[in-house]
Amino acid sequence: MGVMIGLEVHCQLNTDSKLFCSDSQDHRGKRPNENTCPICLGFPGSKPKISKKAIEHGMTIALALNCNISRTMFFSRKTYFYPDMSKNYQITQYEVPLATEGLLSVGDLKIRIRRVHIEEDPARLVHVGGDITNSEYTLMDYNRSGVPLAEIVTEPDFTSPKQTRAFLEKLMNMLEHTGVYDPGKEATIRVDANVSIDGGERVEVKNITGFENVEKALNYEIIRQNSLKRSQMKIARETRHFDATTSTTKSLRKKEYEDDYGYIFDPDLPMVRIDDEWLAKIKRLMPELPDQRVARFVSQYGLTEYYAGVIVYTDKRFADFYEECCRSNGHPDIVAKWAVNYLLKSLNWRSEKISDSKVTPKGFVEFLALIENGKLNERFAKELIKEYVDTGVSPGELLYKTKLNISEEDLRDIIAKVLKENGRAIEDYRSGRKESLQFLIGLVLKETKKQSNPNEISKLLTEMMPR
């Protein structure tokens, strides 16, 4: 049977309030436990109230994943004793989730979505002097408690860690395009990965952040389980923790079964009914999804599938940046070439996204105009773009400061000198040997230390060549 992997992806929903109270869900910059109230702390007598926006975001995700949406659903209490939930239960959905039976295609791979449901986020635990397995003590910050989550559960359709990373990257891009989550917020995506080999016991690796870490955790876990199997040792059904420092997993506890959680209907919350009108409204407001955007870039801008895919699937803001540049530059193919091959490479070198960088559409369009107008040759454009990404200084100003251009008067003097010293090449050119012109252009470029435009050199050479 080989490797079987299933994922549980937890996405913080981009709402103004928490799931069951009016506290802001954005707790950035807040002191620990400042952004709380009796409801998200679970005080006796406090009454939760469902966020309509969170349900609508969940419906948007379900539609994007081609799921069947439940027209009637409810919330349940998942009972467990752990300090990140002060009331000793989590409000989630179990018996009747928001949506089921979806599908997301990643290239030729089709990943079935088992369910999408809404639940509240637990508190953030800070392990002092170690990690969850060996810390001296643990601090609890309930600011995050009650933030709305969408949990997306896949079937065990993955057979390699590489497939899971490709799926997560596409899923994140899709979620960003729908606007249901903000990638700039802390810990907006967390993954629980379930893995087994040859039909054996399933092991869960809990709370992994970062797609690279998901791949590392699964690679380690597959090696660990194979090693146990070769040694004829039993693979225990358990929950494990991924240590990002050592890229290893550690045992936390024996894996619970569903019955251990004691799910019961939450008596403080009403049934949620989704009628035709509400569902039609969400469908009507559905934004353009990444696959649709790629197809539009191909048809509208004449891009290849490759360029369109790289631009869109890098992230939504990079695709937005590209479109804004196209509105000011009439050559979308040129914008794509420089954005994908050089701008993106420079951003990746700095481990930056376009939204975090100093690059602006105005500045990038200015950079392209310098190339199109012959003021900047391609060789030095490749160097200039690195400095532009580093500094954010206007490309025109950078060009002036670094003297990558040379005055026409100086260029004419250099060309006159080259022509004077290479009479044989001039005779060869006159006799029809066109490669002689390229030889002369090379000599001029050498004299200018390649700080001039070959097209301009060619024009001046033919103009100044003795008749």
Cα end-to-end span (Å), the chain: 80
Q: What is the mean pLDDT of residues 316-320?
A: 96
* Confidence at residue 289, expressed as pLDDT on a 0 to 100 scale: 97
Is residue 102 within 8 Å of 112, Cβ to Cβ? yes
Out of 17-21, 154-158, 403-407, pick the least confident: 403-407
Per-residue pLDDT at 317 exceeds 90:
yes
Per-residue pLDDT at 261 exceeds 80:
no
**CA 17, CA 32: separation in Å to the nearest integer?**
18
Encoded tokens for 416: 């006159």
Q: What is the mean pLDDT of residues 16-33?
A: 92
Residues of the chain with CATH 1.10.10.410: 408-464
* Confidence at residue 406, expressed as pLDDT on a 0 to 100 scale: 67
Nearest residue to 105 (alpha-carbon basis) of 68, 67, 69, 65: 65
Q: What is the mean pLDDT of residues 196-200?
A: 89
Is residue 278 within 8 Å of 301, Cβ to Cβ? no
Nearest residue to 193 (alpha-carbon basis) of 153, 224, 223, 234: 153
pLDDT classification of 429: cutoffs 50, 70, 90: confident
Q: What is the mean pLDDT of residues 323-327?
A: 96
At 69 the three-state DSSP class reads strand
Is residue 334 within 8 Å of 372, Cβ to Cβ? yes
Phi-psi region of 350 (alpha: psi -120 to 50; beta: other; left: phi over 0): alpha
Between 313 and 424, whose confidence is greater?
313
Residues 6+ apart with CB under 8 A from 42: 85, 86, 87, 88
Per-residue pLDDT at 307 exceeds 90:
yes
Q: What is the mean pLDDT of residues 138-154?
A: 95
At 221 the three-state DSSP class reads helix
**CA 229, CA 214: separation in Å to the nearest integer?**
22
* Confidence at residue 55, expressed as pLDDT on a 0 to 100 scale: 97
* Confidence at residue 287, expressed as pLDDT on a 0 to 100 scale: 95
Token pair 């802390």 is at which residue?
Answer: 186
Per-residue pLDDT at 150 exceeds 70:
yes
At 68 the three-state DSSP class reads strand
Out of 151-160, 374-383, 446-455, pick the least confident: 446-455
Per-residue pLDDT at 111 exceeds 70:
yes
What is the Cα Rg of the chain in Å?
A: 29
pLDDT classification of 413: cutoffs 50, 70, 90: confident
**CA 384, CA 395: separation in Å to the nearest integer?**
7
Q: What is the mean pLDDT of residues 84-96?
A: 92
Residues in the chain: 467
* Confidence at residue 200, expressed as pLDDT on a 0 to 100 scale: 86
Residues 6+ apart with CB under 8 A from 1: 197, 198, 199
Token pair 């532009």 is at which residue?
Answer: 388
Q: What angle (nearest 5°) sits at the alpha carbon of residue 63, between those of residues 57 and 69?
A: 90
Mean pLDDT of the chain: 90
pLDDT classification of 257: cutoffs 50, 70, 90: low
Out of 82-91, 203-212, 249-258, 380-389, pick the least confident: 249-258
CA 16 to chain CA centroid, nearest Å: 22
Between 279 and 429, whose confidence is greater?
279
Q: pLDDT over 70 for what percent of the chain?
A: 95
Token pair 């079987």 is at which residue?
Answer: 4
- Beta pairing partners, 196: 4
Residue type, 141: D
The H helix count followed by the E strand count for the chain is: 16, 16
Q: What is the mean pLDDT of residues 25-37?
A: 91
Is residue 12 within 8 Å of 191, Cβ to Cβ? no
pLDDT classification of 70: cutoffs 50, 70, 90: very high
**CA 427, CA 160: separation in Å to the nearest integer?**
65
Report pTM.
0.84
Phi-psi region of 243 (alpha: psi -120 to 50; beta: other; left: phi over 0): beta
Per-residue pLDDT at 15 exceeds 70:
yes
Name the CATH code of domain 408-464 (choices 1.10.260.40, 1.10.3720.10, 1.10.10.410, 3.30.230.10).
Answer: 1.10.10.410
**CA 77, CA 333: separation in Å to the nearest integer?**
54
Tens of pLDDT, residues 180-191: 988 777 656 899
Residue type, 374: G
Per-residue pLDDT at 451 exceeds 80:
no
